[in-house]
């Protein structure tokens, strides 16, 4: 499949699966149209790059459903010039989408192989405002806090307190939450003041478990999930 085919399918995906389903932000739609999802997938999955579905990547993880990436990005309500923290780099695709709107994206991946590969891929594709760290994402990235937005691409048992603490006033945190590891609620937490937070439930989702000190214990990773609505 050549470049023209990918570009056509990408535009069709955005129109059919994202704009048609209610994503209205012009900056989010433009970002989804500009980032080549196929570049973040193994070549044998390229033909499925613009299906609205999660797909497998290395280490038993997934690249999220395009609609979910767009919906979560829109829910951050970025204005441009923002500093964003992403937890769960995975393939690097969602970070690439965020980077088209935010000034800087700081993304943390706990699996070393994925962190190394995604950093190399993002550099190869010319994304210069994305910074990748191999670490426990449940603890955030305090060196660059506070953040205008934080997005977590894995499911937590509860909203990690360490991430709430790294939000700016009026900043927003998006995180899937639930004790049922096959069914979570996407929660948006807005920092109202130093000690006050507003919480909203946005959608039912299903993500891989958020593993780390402030998340699920390591032994839960034998169960794999997909990011989808």
pLDDT of res. 137: 95
Mean pLDDT confidence for 103-130: 96
pLDDT band at 36 (very low <50, low <70, confident <90, very high): very high
pLDDT at 229 over 90: no
pLDDT tens readout for residues 64-94:
999 999 999 999 999 989 999 999 999 999 9
Cα torsion 195, 137, 153, 143 to 10°: value is 60
Q: Give me the pLDDT at residue 9, please.
A: 95
**CA-wise closest residue to 97 among 153, 13, 152, 32:** 32
Distances (CA, A) of 27 to 34, 70, 73, 74, 113: 11, 10, 10, 9, 31
Task: Tell me: pLDDT of 12 over 50.
Answer: yes
Position 24 in a domain? no
Does 37 map to a domain? Answer: no
Q: Is the pLDDT of residue 171 over 70?
A: yes
- The one catalytic residue in 64, 91, 99, 226 is 64
pLDDT of residue 2: 54
228 within a domain of the structure (yes/no): no
Partnered with residue 185 across adjacent β-strands are: 177, 204
Domain count, the chain: 1
Residue 19: inside a domain: no
Full domain range(s) for residue 167: 52-222
Residue 82, CB-side half-sphere exposure with 13 Å CA sphere? 25
pLDDT at 62 over 60: yes
pTM of the predicted structure, to 2 decimals: 0.91
Answer whether residue 63 is part of any domain: yes
CATH of the domain at 61: 3.40.50.150
DSSP track, 133-161: EES-GGG--GGG--EEEEEE-SBBSS--H
Average pLDDT over residues 190-201: 96
Please report which confidence band the pLDDT of residue 61 belongs to, taking 50, 70 and 90 as the band edges: confident
- Whole-number Cα distances in Å, 144 to 78, 85, 107, 141: 17, 9, 11, 6
Annotation marks residue 162 as catalytic: no
CA–CA separation, 30 vs 15, rounded Å? 11
pLDDT at 213: 86
Residue 134 within any structural domain of the chain: yes
User: What confidence score (pLDDT) does residue 219 get?
Assistant: 57
SS3 167: strand
Answer yes or no: is 127 within a domain.
yes
In a domain, 85, yes or no: yes
């Amino acid at each position: 499949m050549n470049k023209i085919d990918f570009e056509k399918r990408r535009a069709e995906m955005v129109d059919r699966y994202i704009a048609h389903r209610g994503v209205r932000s012009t900056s989010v739609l433009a970002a989804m149209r500009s980032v080549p999802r196929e570049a973040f997938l193994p070549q044998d999955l390229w033909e499925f790059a613009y299906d609205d579905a999660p797909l497998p990547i290395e280490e038993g993880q997934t690249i999220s459903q395009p609609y979910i990436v767009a919906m979560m990005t829109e829910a951050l309500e970025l204005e441009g010039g923002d500093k964003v923290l992403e937890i769960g780099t995975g393939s690097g695709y969602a970070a690439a989408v965020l980077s088209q709107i935010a000034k800087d994206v700081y993304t943390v991946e706990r699996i070393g192989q994925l962190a190394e590969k995604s950093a190399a891929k993002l550099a190869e594709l010319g994304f210069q405002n994305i910074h990748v760290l191999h670490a426990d994402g449940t603890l955030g990235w305090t060196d660059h806090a506070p953040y205008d937005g934080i997005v977590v691409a894995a499911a937590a048992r509860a909203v990690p307190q360490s991430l709430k603490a790294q939000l700016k006033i009026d900043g927003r945190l998006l995180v899937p939450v639930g004790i049922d590891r096959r069914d979570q609620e996407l929660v948006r937490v807005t920092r109202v003041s130093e000690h006050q937070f507003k919480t909203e439930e946005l959608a039912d989702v299903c993500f891989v478990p958020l593993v780390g000190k402030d998340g699920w214990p390591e032994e839960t990773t034998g169960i794999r999930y997909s990011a989808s609505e």
